[in-house]
Amino acid sequence: MNEVESGRVHVAAFEEVPQIDIAPLLRGSTEARRRVGNAVHDACRDVGFFYVRNHRIAQATVDDLFRETARFYAQPEDAKREIHASKSRFFRGYSGLYEERHDATTDYYEPHEVIDFGRENAPDDPPECAGSLLYGPNLWPSCTPGLRAAVEAYYAAMLEVSNALLRAFALALALPEDYFLDKFDRAAGALRLLHYPPQPAGETRLGLGAHTDYEMFTILAQDANPGLQVLNGAGEWIDIPPAAGTFVVNIGDLMARWTNDRFTSNVHRAANRTGRHRYSVPFFMGANVNTEIRCLKSCTGPDDPPRYPPVLAGAHIEARLVELQHALMEAKRAS
């Protein structure tokens, strides 16, 4: 049983993705925070996705990033390729249209373009950070100098939301509320700016093929254009439309593994049928690279033994990303 299949063991036949008010995590009573944890638990078990609202991130921070993202993608191709991913060994930079394929069962490359950013090395980082491909210098375009400030402000904001969510996940799993915090204090978070150009009428290709995310969890900002869908337990694709003032959160494969599949890493996809340019920004939150991902004690028992062997978070994610890169290269050589 692969991770996608095992991660969906609890998926319900839901018809919509729940919204959770996380304000109590920031200023609520113990009982109010526990109620948030309970809501997060049910969403992570049954759906693997939920919206968060009242997260206290300024809308201007989000708007600035979307404005600079659109400005970058409006540039000529030569200008964008100044920071092409082939110029970095750290999973950074720009990839153009039809350069990626998320669903290996399809025979086409996807009509989207991306820029990837990540955590840069700090002077006091331990050796395991300096030696990891998940930490390293970002590539910054000269054609849109405002992008860097927008990315760095948004990245910092996502770390704030992540810390609130880590407390919610701990409460959901009957752990001390601060259980995860020291395992993510040098987190290898990755930020991706996605652009889906308008697709021609009758186009059937997905802008982003069906897949699960590799990391612990993802925090997604969407523009006003719909396109994201998640698979429910009845095998139906359920829309996750934009909702003003919210982020969409989903569980990744590594968190599903850590929780012995109590939390669901669910299959999702995206298509741009709007006739307009669509932008979305996922932030992939990863644990410190030397964090051992071993089945949590609250997620196992006599009738539910650990399903996965322990792994180190950084090595596991690096291996998955390298595997994806090699698969893409092999598929392109064969086509």
pLDDT at 321: 87
- Contact criterion met (CB below 8 Å) for 89 and 139: no
- Residue 308, burial from CB neighbour count under 10 angstroms (0-12, 13-18, 19+): middle
CA distance readout (Å), 167 to 15, 55, 79, 236: 27, 13, 42, 31
Q: Judge whether residue 4 has pLDDT over 70.
A: no
pLDDT at 305: 95
pLDDT digits (tens, 9 = 90+) for 71-102: 999 999 999 999 999 999 999 999 999 999 88
**Domain boundaries in the chain?**
3-334
Per-residue burial over 153-168, b if 16 or more Cβ lie within 10 Å, else e, is ebbebbbebbbbbbbb
Mean pLDDT for the stretch of residues 114-125: 91
pLDDT at 200: 81
CA distance readout (Å), 4 to 9, 119, 232, 250, 257: 9, 27, 13, 14, 11
> Between these two residues, 110 and 130, which has the higher pLDDT value?
110
Q: Judge whether residue 3 has pLDDT over 70.
A: no
The architecture of the domain spanning 3-334 is Sandwich (2.60)
> Between these two residues, 330 and 178, which has the higher pLDDT value?
178
Mean pLDDT for the stretch of residues 113-126: 91
Rounded to whole angstroms, the Cα distance separating 44 from 50 reads 8
pLDDT at 334: 54
Banded pLDDT at 193 (limits 50, 70, 90): very high
- Contact criterion met (CB below 8 Å) for 261 and 308: no
- Residue 275, burial from CB neighbour count under 10 angstroms (0-12, 13-18, 19+): exposed
pLDDT above 90: percentage of residues in the chain: 81
Mean pLDDT for the stretch of residues 294-312: 94
pTM score, whole prediction? 0.94
Question: Average per-residue pLDDT in the chain?
Answer: 92
**CA-wise closest residue to 250 among 289, 212, 292, 295:** 212
pLDDT at 331: 53
